[in-house]
Structure 1
Amino acid sequence: MLLITAWALPVGVVSALAAWGLLHLIGLVTNLVFYRRAATGLVAPGLVHHDPLLVLTAPVAGGLVIGMMARFGSEKIRGHGMPEAIEAILTGGSKVSPRVALLKPVSAAISIGTGGPFGAEGPIIMTGGAIGSILAQALRLSADERKTLLVAGAAGGMAATFNSPLAAVLLAVELLLFEWRPRSFVPVVASVSTATVARWVLLGGAAIFPVPVTQPHLSGWVDALCVLSGVTGGLLAVAATALVYLAEDAFARLPIHWMWWPAIGGLAIGLGGLVEPRALGVGYDVIDELLTGRAGLALIIGILVVKTLMWSLSLGSGTSGGVLAPIFMIGGALGALEGRWLPTVAPGFWAMAGLAAVVGGVMRSPLTGVVFTLELTHAWATAPALLVASTTAYALSAVMLKRSMLTEKIARRGLHLTRDYTTDPLETFFVDDVMATNVPVLNGQDHVGDVVARLSRAEEVHPLYPVAGPDGGLVGVVTHGDLTRPAVAGERAGTVADLMCPVGVMAHPDDTLRHVAYLFAEHGTTHAPVVERAAPHRPTGLVSLPHLLRARLHDLTEERHRQRVLPAPRHPVRRSRAGGRGPGRRPSERTNAGR
């Protein structure tokens, strides 16, 4: 852990430099395309009036370039980055090609700089992850250690992009690590910390979208309304996710090569830009207006409708760009629209609630949605209400959609991915809880025929039998199949020692079943004798694969079996006016009727 943490420190710094470079590259392309000047500052395409032909054709040209880069460079640059990082972790041994580290930020800068309605965070996740992975590939590390450095680079890039270290760590835990262990958590935090410090030096440490909220008027009534905000945010998340994959399915049915799809998606971007120019590009200026309560109704509706459509359609075309910034804008617009009818809590409060809700619903990461919103705005006092909105949207999304936007893409590539964190039942059961203790210990000098006859009268047949030597100590094992082979049984000759095998695997009563499962997998077996640690030559039982399944069955029973633990309340029996035990039949009649 300490070695990987030491390597994670420079990974965080390099990831921050990559984030700084990507933001400046996006600014350079945007300035060249829409303002015809050489500058690297981030600027929105729709701040001034542009030639409609430029608005229409620039995204198409950008899509053509990205399609060619993907076909002749690397297909891994397609998409928004996070599913690709997850796939590299799950199936690629956490190995990312150096080519992807170079092409992904360039393609994202071209996509966003020519008007694409995307964010920089998805590409920087892939780029930062590639930086960590490339370093890990140059070292002698395991796949799990490569994964840790990959995620450390991705989280470091995220922290540097948004100045959001806590959200970056949560994103790593909720979406990328697939575990909660010191060996991975500590290096990720180290990388995020160094990336954040580097970001302060390169880009400053102020909030990206500061919202002056000190004492919001929070109450139980506001929390109840946040449930409503969460419901609408969850419905929007479901609709946007469905629209992305409807678009992806529609593009897949086109009779042309996928290289041309981003250009068609660029046409959708251009048409949307003609309707609402401020929906083009990253849109940080629009997010700022939404979160500070300065956006007008026309802009709110334009972003909510046009941005959602052009983002979903273009993302479905397989172009390059992130999802977080568009989600921030769409969620903020939804909340700002609701805030025109909901009671005033603080400037931009309902936009923040909408943002947290849509992030929680789209990405199925409610804590990340809340913390992202708080770190973007520094409106820490709104945390309890935002948690209600984000969790409500998350719950609604989980009920209505089988998978999130990220895991659906993974599933379409033939992988099953669960986001549930639960205790492994194999960790909570010990060998002593499930092992068979009535296993006969055979003597190596016994004749096979006598042993087979004796075992045929036994109540239970075991797959393996320990074999003891003259002193009673464990000297080997013999399988039931070897004992009962027709040739051996027919001869009625030979001793157990002639069929005996060496003891390859032994378990102890205090071993967890998870440890035993690893032993079985490592040695290619399904059963092992159990011996005491203090007396390793004295067999006390047998553990086999069916015993491991008992723990899983217990977990399944706890999940599905419903029962009343406390007794039901007993209602007093009403007496009739005549002094009887109540109206109706006599006690004997009621008893007989209930039998």
Structure 2
Amino acid sequence: MRATDLGDFRVDRRMLLIALIAMPVGALGAAAAWVLLRLIGLVTNLCFYGRFATDLVAPGGVAHPWYQILLVPVAGGLIVGVMARYGSEKIRGHGMPEAIESILTRGSVVEPKVAVLKPVSAAVSIGTGGPFGAEGPIIMTGGAVGSILAQHLHLTADERKTLLVAGSAAGMAATFNSPLAAILLAVELLLFEWSPRSLVPVCASVAVATIVRAPLLGSGPIFPVDTHGVVPTAGVDALAVVIGVSGALVAVVATWLVYRAEDGFARLPIHWMWWPAIGGLIIGAGGLIEPRALGVGYNVIDDLLTGRATTDLIVGILVVKTLIWSLSLGSGTSGGVLAPIFMIGGALGAAVGLVMPGVFPGFWALLGLAAVVGGVMRSPLTGVVFTLELTQAWSAALPVLIASATAYAISVLALRRSVLTEKIARRGLHLTRDYSTDPLETFFCRDIVHTDPDSIALAQSVPAECVLGPRDTLRHAAYVMAENQLDHVAIVDDDSVVGVVRLSDLLVARRHDLTEATVRDRTLRFMVGRNG
């Protein structure tokens, strides 16, 4: 067995080991999601209905006194600010950028207290009327569970990352009963790779979380939509582009508002601990206009996606929810972005759908949801699968894809970064969302080996452990050079030294990749004959 084959075998064994560890992480992630949803229900019932209950309800279900709507979010923001200052600043924000930052800069290490403070602060923020979602906090909480377990084991940073993401994806899957979307979210936003060593454990964790969810929260879709057996026509598919363009515009405006609000709060001459309370005042003011914009709002999303929403509700949610979510999120409070995006996107689609041909109830709201997710999150595949898993409206897959991809394309052209990556960039980190094959993987040592006498003499001076074969990739050669702090490696074939590969030779693959990306030529020409 060649050294590289042995290395692959060891990686496969480690992959299976991490997958086994990820399974209880998935169960714990599902339990964390259940606890968070119950906490949100508890705080909402206590603050708005004066009763001790944990069922998930929304503010605005009955007429509340004006001072209650205005002041309860302020009190919630004040509590969150105190928790962040004296507990952990890591609970600030909507969860996903914090998880990404932990992966990028802290070796996927999350403090244990974050696993407690994040869901509690999110429950306070959302339960007191904050227009946020539970998914961002559960991403951080589930990730903390996976990270804490990994920190007690003898693992690499990459393996800790896998377990952190496994916990995050498990929480997402359990919250929305959306295993495929949770896995795609992990790939598009958190893993920074598509490889068996990470994908298999994440899938194992998500599968367990989805199974555990059934007895805790049910096994049906969150927002079931009856398509009445209707399959969208080609004309309807074409009109999905209109929803995509509209979704992109909302995504651009909402993202711009979030970071203008963040800049505005940063200029205030007071400590950031007080910012969430000011954000709460914005929320309360919006709640006076449209109380149903407060809280998670799953009931409103359901009304939008099933075609039961009135025009007043559609317009109120589209305007008020967008403003209070964007502006209050900039205050650094605790809460997620997906549920608000679902509501805003659904309202947008329903609004545009007022002048569109009828397909089935909630069809255009369905497309609007996918479009705004694709535009705001820059995760078009996640937006598509999330929409379809939440509603089970699989017959609408093509127009949903068109809407999401259109919004994504315009968002990429209009904004340098998404609502998630902008926050990472502001912390001085560089983050790319592009996935491509490493050019060093497409070249072998035999393609660039130097075989002249001087090179062979140089190769013979290299230690035995730094010897490679002609079929080893340049990526493997780069790792060997880095590990042994060398600028060249010997190439041996059938126990005979055939030459050497130098560090500078690795640029051959990079130049080839650059050429393919930048050089334009015509590879097929049509010859037109001339008479005479």
SS at match of 1:530: strand
The equivalent position to 1:385 in structure 2, one of 399, 405, 417, is 399
SS at match of 1:543: strand
Written as runs of structure 1 = structure 2, the 5 A alignment for 1:405-554 is: 405-440=419-454, 465-466=457-458, 474=460, 476=461, 505-532=466-493, 534-535=494-495, 538-554=496-512
Instruction: Give 1:148 shift.
Output: 1.1
How big is the shift at 1:217? 4.2
Aligned: 1:566 with 2:527: no
Structure 1 counterpart of 2:319: 305
In 1, the alpha carbon distance for the partners of 2:270 and 2:512 equals: 52
Cα deviation per residue 1:318-361 (whole Å; 9 max; x = unaligned)?
00000000000000000000111000111100000000010011
- Cα distance in 1 between the residues matched to 2:490 and 2:168: 45
Alignment of 1:189 with 2:234, yes or no, is no
Q: Is the 8 A contact 1:439 1:542 kept in 2?
A: no
Q: Distance in 2 between matches of 1:259 and 1:23?
A: 25
Any residues of structure 2 matched to 1:151-550 within 5 Å, and which?
A: 151-440=165-454, 465-466=457-458, 474=460, 476=461, 505-532=466-493, 534-535=494-495, 538-550=496-508
Task: Tell me, in whole angstroms, the C-alpha distance in 2 between the residues paired with 1:206 and 1:218.
Answer: 24
- Is 1:54 aligned to residue 62 of structure 2? no
Other structure's SS at 2:454 match:
coil
**Counterparts of 1:275 and 1:399, CA distance in 2:** 34
Letter in 1 for 2:446: D
After superposition, what is the alpha-carbon deviation per residue over 1:463-512, rounded to whole angstroms, capped at 9, x for unaligned? xx527xxxxxx3x26xxxxxxxxxxxxxxxxxxxxxxxx56733322110
In the alignment, the residues of structure 1 paired with residue 450 and residue 254 of structure 2 have an alpha-carbon distance, to the nearest angstrom, of: 54
Query: How far apart, CA to CA, are the structure 1 residues paired with 2:106 and 2:308?
Result: 46
Structure number with greater CO (CA < 8 Å, separation at least 6) is 2
Moved more, 252-261 or 126-135: 252-261
What is the deviation of 1:441? 5.9
Deviations 1:66-105 (A, max 9, x none): 1111111101000000111111111111111110000000
- Partner AA of 2:438 in structure 1: D
Q: How many angstroms does 1:119 deviate by?
A: 0.4
Deviations 1:254-282 (A, max 9, x none): 12111111111111101111111100000
CA distance in 1, matches of 2:258, 2:451: 57
In structure 1, the partner of 2:3 is: none
Q: What's the secondary structure of 2:432's corresponding residue?
A: coil
Amino acid at match of 1:191: S
Out of 30, 45, 51, the position equivalent to 1:31 is 45
Checking the alignment, whether the CA contact within 8 Å between 1:214 and 1:379 is kept in structure 2 is: no
Question: Aligned partners of 1:425 and 1:281: how far apart in 2?
Answer: 47
> Matched residues in 2 for 1:438 and 1:7: separation?
51
Is 2:231–2:395's contact at 8 Å kept on the other side of the alignment? no
Partner of 1:485: none
- Greater C-alpha Rg: 1
Q: Which residue number corresponds to residue 41 of structure 1?
A: 55
Give the CA deviation at 1:571. 6.5
Q: Is contact 1:230-1:357 (8 Å) kept?
A: yes
Quote the Cα distance in structure 1 between the aligned partners of 2:332 and 2:453.
60
TM-score after normalising by structure 2: 0.95
CA distance in 2, matches of 1:390, 1:549: 37
Give yes or no for contact 1:33–1:113 (8 Å, CA) kept in 2: yes
Other-structure match for 2:155: 141
Over 3 Å counting, the alpha-carbon distance change for 1:546 and 1:299 in structure 2 is: same
Q: Is this contact kept in 2: 1:133–1:150, CA < 8 A? A: yes
Tell me whether 86-95 or 283-292 shows the greater mean CA deviation: 86-95
TM-superposed CA distance for 1:439, in Å, is 4.3
TM-score, normalisation: structure 1:
0.85
Secondary structure, counterpart of 2:483 in structure 1? helix
User: Are the structure 2 counterparts of residues 252 and 569 from structure 1 closer, same or farther at C-alpha, using a change threshold of 3 Å?
Assistant: farther
CA distance in 1, matches of 2:178, 2:187: 14
Deviation at 1:203, TM superposition (A): 1.1
- CA distance in structure 2 between the aligned counterparts of 1:386 and 1:572, rounded to whole angstroms: 50
Q: Is the 8 A contact 1:217 1:346 kept in 2?
A: no
State the shift of 1:567 in Å.
1.4
State how far apart, in whole Å, the 2-side matches of 1:245 and 1:53 are: 29
Quick one: distance in 2 between partners of 1:441 and 1:108?
63
1:13 equivalent in structure 2:
27
CA-based RMSD:
1.4
Are the counterparts in 2 of residues 437 and 540 from structure 1 also a CA contact under 8 Å?
Answer: yes
CA contact (8 A) 2:455 2:499 kept: no
Three-state SS of the structure 1 residue aligned to 2:325 is helix
Matched residues in 2 for 1:245 and 1:564: separation? 44
Q: What is the Cα deviation at residue 17 of structure 1?
A: 0.9
8 A contact 2:366–2:387 mirrored in 1: yes
Unmatched runs of 5 consecutive residues or more in structure 1 = 443-464, 468-473, 478-501, 574-580, 582-595
Amino acid of the structure 2 residue aligned with 1:432: R
* Contact 2:232-2:395 at 8 Å conserved across structures: no
Structure 2 unaligned residues grouped into runs of 5+: 1-14
Report the CA distance between 1:190 and its aligned residue: 1.1
1:214–1:381 Cα contact (<8 Å) kept? no
How many residues align? The count is 518
Q: Aligned residue for 2:105?
A: 91
CA contact (8 A) 2:455 2:500 kept: no
- For 2:176 and 2:21, locate their aligned partners in 1 and report how far apart those are by CA, in whole Å: 23
CA shift at 1:142, angstroms?
1.1
